[in-house]
Structure 1
Amino acid sequence: MAKFTTFGGLLASAAFALTAGTALAADYTLVISSWAPPTHSINARMWPTFTEMVEEATDGRVTTELKLGLAPPPAQMDLVMDGAADLSIIFHGYQAGRFVTTKMIELPGYVGSSEAASVAYWRAYDAYLKDANEHRGVKVVALHTHGGAQLMSAEQVTELSQAEGMKVRIPGGVAADVGQALGMIGIKVPATKVYETLASKAADGVVMPIDSRVGFKLTEVAQNMYMLPGGLYRGSFAFIMNEDAFADLPEDIQQVLEDEVFGEPISRAIGAIWEAGDAEAIEATLATPGNAIIDASPEDVARFDEVATGVRAKVIEEVAATGVDAQAAYEMIKAEMAAFE
C-alpha cells in the first residue's frame, strides 16, 4: 500500500498524519493500522517515534499515516499480509498456535528494564528465533516487550493464594501458562475490551503491563495492583510491514531503513517507551484516590519463583520442539539483559 503521494492526496490525509509538517514534503506515505486507544503509548509515543526515525533517516522522503480501528487486534497480521495497511503492531499471544518462539521473551524471571529486554529479544531473534520462520508473509520491523505484567483488581489482593479461583482476563502466550499454574480462571478478551469487562464485573481482575493503568484507564475499574518483582510475565509484540510495501520503496530508502531504523534501533526505542509508561502509571496509581499498590511478601515471591521455574521448563521444551535452540536463546536473553547499558 506504500504510495507515491500527490499534493491533493496529502491534503486529504494531513489530518491523519502523525507528523503532518513533514508529510507535505514526503514522497512516500506508509499507512499504519493500530488497535490501541488514541492516548495509549502505542499511538501517542511508539508510532510517532517510529515516524520520526523514518523521516530523519530518509530526509523526509518517507512518512506515515496512522489509522485506528481497521480491524481487531488478532486480525492485524492478516490485515498487513493482505495489503490493507503497510504496517501494524501485533501481540503474539492473541494468535494461539501461530507463534511459539515468541514466548521466549515472555518468560517470568528476567531481570532488567523493558529497553534491555527488547534489545535482547531482537538479538536472540536474529541469532536463533527467526529460524522458525513464524512471521512468514510479513517483514519484521521490530520486536519488543513491556515490563513485568501485574495482577490488577477491584478487590484488594494481598496474598498470591487469592489468585486461585479468580476470574482474570489473561492474554495468550506465557501469561496463560502462568495463570493456569496459579489456578486462575482465564478469560480471554483483547486489551481493547478490558475496561468494559472489568466494569461489568465479568472478570474479577486482569493481568496486564503496568502502563495499562493509564493507557486503558484501569485506575477506574481495577484500583488495586498486586506487585511481584519482575511481574508474572512480559508480553511479546512486533511491528510488522507488508513485504510488497517495503519492496516498492527505492533501494536506497530500503537500505537506510534497514541500517538506521528497523531491527535493534527501533526495538530499543520502543522498549524505552514501555519503561517510561510503567513509571508514569505507577505515579498515576499512587496519585489516584482509592488506588493502591500491594507489594508481594517474601514468601509469595519465593512461591512464585517455584511456579516460574516450572513455566520456564515447559516453554523452553515447547520452543525447542520447533527446531530452535531454545536453551541457547534463553541464556542469550539473560546474558544480554545482564550486560545491558
Structure 2
Amino acid sequence: MKLNGIKTLLATAALAVSGSVAFAADYTLTISSWAPPTHGINAKMWPKFVEMVEEATDGKVTAELKLGIAPPPAQMDLIMDGAADASIIFHGYQPGRFVTTKLIELPGYEGSAEAASVAYWRAYDKYLKAADEHRGVKVIALHTHGPAQLHTSSPVTSMDQISGLKVRIPGGVGGDVGTALGATGIQVPAPKVYETLASKAADGVVMPLESRKGFKLTEVAPNVYEMPGGLYRGSFAFIMNEDTFADLPEDIQQALEENVFGEPLSREIGKIWDEIDAIGRDETQATEGNAIQEASAEDMEKFSKIAEDVRAKVIAEVNEAGVDAQAAYDMIKSEMSSN
C-alpha cells in the first residue's frame, strides 16, 4: 500500500468531511477542493461523496477535505501527481485539454442538473470516454451545474445590451456563447469572481444561480438576466488518483464501482446542484436591491439561433476527437427527457 495518497488510520476515529467523529476506518482519502468553504461543492457534495463511500465500504474507507492546495486549473495535474487522492475539476478551466466535455455544456437542453448529470455519465460511458481525455486519472463521476445566467452590476433588460460588456466567462461553450453575444470575455477562476466584480474589472459574470449565494453575487452583481434553459451548462468531473484506487483491496474497489462511482454519484451531485440553484434564487429574491429580468420572447428567438450555431460548431469539434458527436448529443437529449 502506497502512503503518498491513501493513509492507513492509526487513530481510533477519523474526522470526515462532515465534521463528525466517526468509526475507525482503514483508509482515508485526501480530497482537494478549490471552492469556498461554504459553497455547495464543499458543504454538500463532498459530504455526500464521503457518506456514500463509507456506506458502500462498511466504514473501511473515509475521506478528509483540504482546501487551497492548488488553484482550480491545477487540480487535474495535482491528482495525477498523487498530491491528493480526489478532486473536482471544471473542464472549461483547461481550454484545449478537453473537447468532448463541451457536448454537455451546450445551450438548449431541457431538464434539471440531476437529469443532465445522469445523461452525461451515460453518454460518457457509451461514447465520450473513447477519446481518453482524462488519461492519467480515474473519472468517478461527471456532472453539470444548472443553467448559467448573466449576473451584472447594472440592469440588463435586453440581449442586445450584452454586446460590449466586460464579462467573466469560463472556457468551453461558455466562451463560445460569450463571443457570439459580443461580450468581451474575461477569464478568471470562480473563486476570483467576487473581487473581479467588486473592483469593477468586469461588468458581469455568467454563472449558475447557486453563485448568488455560493460566491456572494448578491453583493456585487445584483441584477440577473435569465434565459430559459440557460446560456450554457458547465461541465465537471470528480476524479481520483489511479494508484490510490489500485492500492485498495479488490472487495473495496468492487463496492465503490458498484455503489458509488459512475451514475450513482453523478446523480447525487446533480441533485445537489438543483438544490443549491434553488437556494441561490431564493437568496436573490430575498435580498433588497436584487432583481431577476427574464428574457423576452424576441430575445429567446435570437438566442435559439446563436445556440444552433454554437451546437453545430461543437459537434464538428467533437467529431474531430474521434467521437460520434451527433449520436452522443442525441443520447443526452433523449436521456434528459426521460429522467
Scaled by the length of structure 2, the TM-score of the pair is 0.97
The structural deviation recorded for 1:166 is: 0.4
CA distance in 2, matches of 1:288, 1:185: 28
AA in 2 matched with 1:33: S
Look up the match of 1:6: 10
Three-state SS of the structure 2 residue aligned to 1:20 is: coil
Identity across matched positions, percent:
70
CA distance in 1, matches of 2:318, 2:75: 24
The verdict on how the C-alpha distance between 1:107 and 1:124 changes in structure 2, with shifts beyond 3 A counting, is same
Look up the match of 1:114: 113
Look up the match of 2:21: 21
CA distance in 2, matches of 1:176, 1:84: 30
Identify unmatched segments of 5+ residues in structure 1: none
Q: Residues 174-199 of structure 1: CA distance to partner in whole angstroms, max 9, x if unpaired? A: 00000000000000000000000000
Aligned 8 A contact 1:166 1:204 in 2:
yes
Look up the match of 2:203: 204
Aligned 8 A contact 1:19 1:63 in 2:
no
Look up the match of 1:283: 282
Scaled by the length of structure 1, the TM-score of the pair is 0.97
CA distance in 1, matches of 2:141, 2:119: 12
Question: How many equivalent pairs are there?
Answer: 335
Confirm whether residue 299 of structure 1 aligns to residue 298 of structure 2.
Answer: yes
Look up the match of 1:38: 37
CA distance in 2, matches of 1:38, 1:213: 15
The structural deviation recorded for 1:19 is: 4.6
Look up the match of 2:240: 241
CA distance in 1, matches of 2:38, 2:8: 29
Confirm whether residue 94 of structure 1 aligns to residue 93 of structure 2.
Answer: yes
The structural deviation recorded for 1:4 is: 1.0
Q: Residues 259-318 of structure 1: CA distance to partner in whole angstroms, max 9, x if unpaired? A: 000000000000000001111111110000000000000000000000000000000000
Confirm whether residue 129 of structure 1 aligns to residue 128 of structure 2.
Answer: yes
CA distance in 1, matches of 2:75, 2:10: 27
AA in 2 matched with 1:170: I
The structural deviation recorded for 1:21 is: 2.5
Aligned 8 A contact 1:19 1:51 in 2:
no
CA distance in 1, matches of 2:116, 2:325: 16
AA in 2 matched with 1:314: K
CA distance in 2, matches of 1:166, 1:116: 32
Look up the match of 1:139: 138
CA distance in 2, matches of 1:273, 1:302: 31
CA distance in 2, matches of 1:272, 1:17: 19
The structural deviation recorded for 1:25 is: 1.3
Identify unmatched segments of 5+ residues in structure 2: none
Q: CA RMSD in A?
A: 1.0
